[in-house]
Amino acid sequence: MILLQLMSVLTSLLILLSSLWQAEVLAQPQTSNGTENLALKDIVFVILTQDTTFHLERAKQFKKDFYNQLKGVSKDEKPKLFFTHKKWPITGAWTIFPLLSDFVENFSNNSWVFISEEEVRLDLFKLLDVLKRYDSSKPLFLGNALQDESPVIIHHFAFAENPSQFSYPNMALGFLMSMPLVKSLHYRWPPSNMRTDFSIDLKHELAMYIWDDGNGVALTDVPEFCNRKQDCVTYLPLKFPQCGAPISSNDLFVAVKTCQKFHNERVPIIKSTWLREAKHAELYSDVEDLSIPTISLGVRNTERGHCKKTYNILIRALREPSISSKPWLLIVDDDTIISITRLRKMLACYNPAEALAIGERYGYGVTTGSGYNYITGGGGMVFSRAAVQSMVSSNLCSCPRDDSPDDMILGICLQNLNIPVIHSSLFHQARPNDYNKELLDLQDPISFHKHWMIDPKKVYEEWFLSAAQFHDEL
């Protein structure tokens, strides 16, 4: 009897252990028979690059670090590395969508596509070891998972009741798509259930398309996609570009767009915070107010777009001697919160003799490979002197109406003139709480936008005051 009871207990224990083992196996990424044989040549590396002097140098540094790791690898075993500015020099390459067909056509024999920005650094052999845990014959989407804590405007208030249920990849650290996933994305593009006109945040929009209203693939969080050189697959060596001494405070002119109804509400805030960092600045309004002072450009205030006001600022910047001598022009809103000190440091990376527009890049109609990119105005638009000269002197740039969206119309103008729109993730169109904290921790931001439901002075003090160098003669 005792023996029978013991055998029954042992049987129950074995069943329990078997159940626990099965549950653990199901919870882990499934490995196929061929995954153990995965080689670096099975991975295609696509780096989102930009075709200007500074960014070409950053791409060169990435390439050097990449191939230094492959010195002992034969030519036939080396992975393919592509820079988008060279391989796919089209307007919307940064959104990935226009590249899907080319991925399928040229990379179908590969297992994975890795995509990242140019600043990331990789440990190729750690990446290979990590990928051996995953079955590349299945549609998989891998990366460092981020979630929104609350509904945010830059993500169109997606998952308003519980935004933390949805994950999207941290682009700063890169992400991976298996080839079956790439093929499925290509075959159902363009989607019927997704807006494809505006492109705002690649990482979230791509993740939404892949997820496909719950019918597709969710992002799998990979712990090794982190930001430590010692034990991570990916890491960022810098939080902010390092290009030597900042440009002189005499080389930057700041133009602030305001209007009479905000003279008492917003203007005092910016004058007591970030505007103290600017040595040369003017505030442009619909009325002249000598107590601030503001300058009227002869343009009525409009509720939405401010194309005519912005275009008149460009004209003044070119024709007014005290401004036209400045190599750089910054145009901001009166509810932009910005670090002029950090901006001067970043601009040391660029040549004002090149025609450049710098800021946070958005796109209109670019997911098809056409359309145009533009610098979203709220985070600040920076133009080199060469760009201002080209825009003002050209007959390809004009405002259809006074209230046309200035940033978008300027985007069309820049495209017509073949002036590159340079994206920097350090500029932000929204408030700090509209962005994932982990993402912001990876950078030293240059700007945020909007005073809505926040204390702009506290935002400035938290994010920018410690870096500030003031010019109080304003």
State the pTM of this model: 0.90
Q: How far is CA 133 from CA 25, 35, 36, 37, 264, in A?
A: 12, 7, 8, 11, 60
**Whole-number Å distance between alpha carbons of 65 and 122:** 8
CATH, domain range 40-235: 3.90.550.50
CA neighbor of 42 nearest in space, from 84, 96, 82, 80: 80
Domain boundaries, the chain: 40-235, 252-470
Q: Which residues contact 111 (CB under 8 A, 6 or more apart)?
A: 38, 42, 43, 131, 136, 178, 179
Please count the other Cβ atoms lying within 10 Å of the Cβ belonging to residue 246: 18
What pLDDT, on the 0 to 100 scale, is given for residue 303? Answer: 77
170: nearest Cα among 234, 85, 83, 127: 234
pLDDT at 382: 98
| Nearest-angstrom CA–CA distance, 428 and 447 | 6
**Bond prior to 89 in cis (omega within 30° of 0):** no
Please report the sign of the dihedral spanned by the C-alpha atoms of residue 52, residue 58, residue 62, residue 64.
positive
Spatial neighbors of 368 by CB under 8 A, at least 6 apart, are 92, 97, 98, 190, 196
Write the CA distances from 176 to 101, 170, 235, 289, 295, integer angstroms: 17, 11, 15, 55, 51
User: Angle formed by the axes of helices 100-107 and 179-187, to 10°?
Assistant: 130
- Provide the angle, in degrees to the nearest 10, between the axes of the packed helices 385-393 and 406-416: 90
pLDDT value of residue 193: 67
Return the closest-CA partner of residue 134 out of 36, 31, 225: 31
For 299, the token pair is 């343009």
Q: For each of the chain's 474 residues, which pLDDT tens digit applies?
A: 443 343 333 333 332 333 333 333 333 444 444 577 999 999 999 999 999 999 999 999 999 999 999 999 999 999 999 999 999 999 999 999 999 999 999 999 999 999 999 999 999 999 999 999 999 999 999 999 999 999 999 998 999 999 999 999 999 999 999 999 999 999 999 887 667 789 999 999 999 999 999 999 999 999 999 998 888 999 999 999 999 999 999 999 999 999 999 999 999 999 999 999 999 999 999 999 999 999 999 998 887 789 999 999 999 999 999 999 999 999 999 999 999 999 999 999 999 999 999 999 999 999 988 899 999 999 999 999 999 999 999 999 999 999 999 999 999 999 999 999 999 999 999 999 999 999 999 999 999 999 999 999 999 999 999 999 997 644
CATH 3.40.228.10 holds for 252-470: no
pLDDT of the residue at 472: 62
Distance between CA atoms of 184 and 206, rounded to whole angstroms?
13
Give per-residue pLDDT as tens, 389-407.
Answer: 999 999 999 999 999 999 9
DSSP 170: -
Task: Indicate the helix (H) or strand (E) that contains 272.
Answer: helix 267-272
Q: Do domains 40-235 and 252-470 have the same CATH topology?
A: yes
- Write out the H or E segment, with its range, that includes residue 437: helix 437-440
